[in-house]
Amino acid sequence: MLSPTIPLVAAVPTAVLLGIATATATGPLLRMLPAETESEAGDTQGTGPAGPTLLGSAPPDRPPDYGALAGRGFATACGAVSLVASLLVLTLAPLPWLPLWLVWSTLFVVLVGVDAATTWLPLGLTRATWAAGAVALALSGGLVLALGRGTAADPVRVLLGAAAAGALYLALWRVGRGLGFGDVRISPLLGALGAALSWTEWWVALAAGPLLGAVWGIVRSVAGHRGPYAYGPWMWLGPAAALLAQPTGPLVA
């Protein structure tokens, strides 16, 4: 029987609070983002067939005005996704690695939400996610040893997983140019999340997102849409698949 990391009686209200916090912080975060040049923000995401973005217009040639997203509807959507993702994390992620996973379920949600709406991953918000991930990784590494839920090899595995994911996506970007460079920038965090579970789940975290994105691209192509589409949100779903597919997850347990 599946044994939640944190009892549901505590996980549900905590996830609700995290969702509310994410929704509340989304607007201020977006309004704080500085204007970017195209080279700073990276290429638009993906090369698969697509139509309009979630904002209902074609992808811009230049980085968009991220502050224009800072409305109640977008913030509410980010908060709702964060609530669901946080509940998944609080019940399935390994306890010592919760800080790292909670970055994925909060700040990372806002980042890929912007990508879904504009096909751009803002560099300022990407860097903020890196910084939060680095702090969370250090905290999680300490918890692994303090709680006796692993060894010093576990943080090393996570760091190697992050580096390997970044190298893999960089190679794909250089060879095929089928990705936006913003996708390369977020890949190390995905690798760290997968490696926090195991090397097997590292592969799941990296493979599941692109597979889902490819299916979406095929669906849109059949529907007659053309143009780039946001790839970051599909990459973001990879760690969720890894959580569900781990030996203690509901897809296996």
Q: What is the mean pLDDT of residues 147-161?
A: 89
Q: What DSSP state is assigned to residue 34?
A: P
DSSP H or E stretch at residue 57: none
Residue 74: exposed, middle, or buried by beta-carbon count in 10 A (0-12, 13-18, 19+)? buried
Q: What is the mean pLDDT of residues 190-218?
A: 92
Question: Helix, strand, coil proportions of the chain in percent (round to 5)?
Answer: 70, 0, 30
Q: What DSSP state is assigned to residue 55?
A: T
d(CA 180, CA 174) in angstroms, rounded, equals 10
The per-residue pLDDT for 54 is 37
CB 99 within 8 A of CB 146: no
The DSSP result for 59-117, as a single string, is: PPSS---GGGG-SHHHHHHHHHHHHHHHHHHHHHS-GGGHHHHHHHTTHHHHHHHHHHH
Q: What is the pLDDT of residues 55-68, one digit of tens each?
A: 333 345 577 888 88
Question: What's the whole-model pTM score?
Answer: 0.87
